[in-house]
A = this chain, B = another copy of it.
Amino acid sequence: MSVPRDPQALAEACAAAMWADDTASQGLGMTLDAVGPGTATLSMPVTEAMTNGHGICHGGFIFALADSAFAFACNGYNQRTVGQHAAITYLAPARAGDTLRAEATELDRRARSGIYDITVRTDAGAVIAQFRGHSRTIKGTHLPEPD
């Protein structure tokens, strides 16, 4: 398999390679709806198993969805990239039965660092959380580099 030159095809190929091994995101019931260079959209249904002692979705699952969108958005350049720092603001509760959608966009990318903004919404369109993630590239690629 050759590494695509087209940025959109490259982002999709990287996402496919990552997704195959992403037991965590798959196990949480996420779907990878769309991906592009610096962008990604993932969805996740909130289940009863995700509710906490306040009877609402545990913030960790909302964060996990946003974090996965962040990961797919920043890994589309065939350069392994990890989260360094992330901040989330919770704006409204999510409840069992909601399907959440996280959309990630790239705010900045230079040298080995990137900044990504992720908005998490319910299927009704209500904004649940805002997330800003800082990434850093590490060694390695998702697809084998040509010799």
Q: Does A49 contact B (CB under 8 A)?
A: yes
CA distance A67 to B58 in the complex (A): 8
Number of chain A residues close to chain B: CB under 8 A: 52
Query: What B residues does A115 contact at CB under 8 A?
Result: 89, 130
Q: Does A9 contact B (CB under 8 A)?
A: no
Mark each residue of chain A from 51 to 90: 1 if its CB lies under 8 Å from any CB of chain B, else 0.
1111101111101110110010001000010111111111
Copies in the complex: 4
Contact partner of A107 among B19, B90, B130, CB < 8 A?
B130
Contact partner of A71 among B52, B107, B117, CB < 8 A?
B52
CB-nearest residue of chain B to A63: B63
Q: Does A101 contact B (CB under 8 A)?
A: no
CA distance A83 to B53 in the complex (A): 13
| 20 A-B pairs whose Cβ atoms sit less than 8 Å apart in the complex | A23-B48, A23-B50, A23-B51, A27-B49, A52-B71, A58-B68, A59-B67, A59-B86, A60-B64, A60-B65, A60-B67, A63-B64, A84-B90, A85-B87, A87-B88, A87-B132, A91-B110, A91-B113, A107-B130, A117-B117
A residues lining the B interface (CB < 8 Å): 17-25, 27-28, 48-55, 57-61, 63-65, 67-68, 71, 75, 80, 82-91, 107-108, 110, 113, 115, 117, 127, 130, 132, 134
